[in-house]
Structure 1
Amino acid sequence: MLPRPLAHTNPEDPSWPLDDLPRPSEYGVQLSRVAAGAIRLESARRDISQEDLAELLGRSRSAISQRFTGKVAWSLDDLGAIAAAFGCPVDDLLDDGSQRGRR
């Protein structure tokens, strides 16, 4: 079954436009926090410092620190560049481990 169109025609209607799918808040952990944890873990495994990532992404070390702590979300472009540098698919950086062994 295809989901209903995304556009809400009635702003007073409180229903979720994709009623058959879970709301983002029902996933539990924010993807930005999952990505921050995965990037911290993979950086440590590969001995890549915040300074190294800052240079790779053209950002300050402070900006990378804010992303490591989850205060600021990683951009999709950042995730792509990091995945390429780590030699892994982007979805590895969005995996909180809860689905491992279920595939």
Structure 2
Amino acid sequence: MKNKISNGFQIVQDLIKLRWIPEIIKSLEAGNHRYSEIQRSIHHISHTELNRKLSILIERGVILKEDNTDNTKYILLDFGEDLVHIFNHLEALQEKYFEVS
């Protein structure tokens, strides 16, 4: 049986290794909650790919899709907020230890 760290790492790795997932989560964290805002904030992502990735994030409990009569919004859930912290920490590690001057 795997330990909790291995299980947690596997769950996070399975998400962040997918192309566009970190960018979508960071876009939501930056305040882009509508589909068009998310797409506009991520250069070169197609409608098909954005739909596919949003579905994965909903299915895995990272985001919530709120359907209103006049618009649809995507909201980060607690798991999504935790992933933002992980991404921020990874970026800080990159800057601290691996940035080439």
Same fold (TM over 0.5): no
Whose helix fraction is larger, Structure 1's or Structure 2's? 2
TM-score normalised to structure 1 length: 0.29
Asked which structure has the greater RCO (Cα within 8 Å, sep 6+), the reply is 1
Whose strand fraction is larger, Structure 1's or Structure 2's? 2
